Amino acid sequence: MAVLRLFASIRVAAGTGTVDLEGSTVGEIITAATQRFGNDFAVQVPNCQLWLNGQATDLATPVTATDEVALLPPVSGGR
């Protein structure tokens, strides 16, 4: 199983920062997470950046059991 790491608002929607999920591509990992965490999670996914092992990636990229997928939602900052 690959590890999915979640940050900021999508972490809140999932109720966790990390989860192990089955899938052979990044897209399958995201689909499994969406099924597990529901609509509040799903509506945020299209706005997130996808990373695989610390590098930007896309849904078609293959994953293995030792990989780490991350979802990074947009973040705003300021003073």
Q: What pLDDT does 26 receive?
A: 98
What is the b/e burial string over 4-18, where b = at least 16 CB atoms within 10 angstroms of the residue's CB? bebbebbbebbeeee
Mean pLDDT by 10 residues, the chain (79 residues): 96 97 98 98 96 98 97 77
Q: What pLDDT does 37 receive?
A: 98
Q: What pLDDT does 16 receive?
A: 98
- Alpha carbons 66 and 79: distance in angstroms, whole number: 39
Q: Which residues pair with 39 in a beta bridge?
A: none
Q: What pLDDT does 47 receive?
A: 95
Q: What pLDDT does 76 receive?
A: 63
- Alpha carbons 54 and 46: distance in angstroms, whole number: 19
Domains of the chain by start residue, with CATH: 2-72 (3.10.20.30)
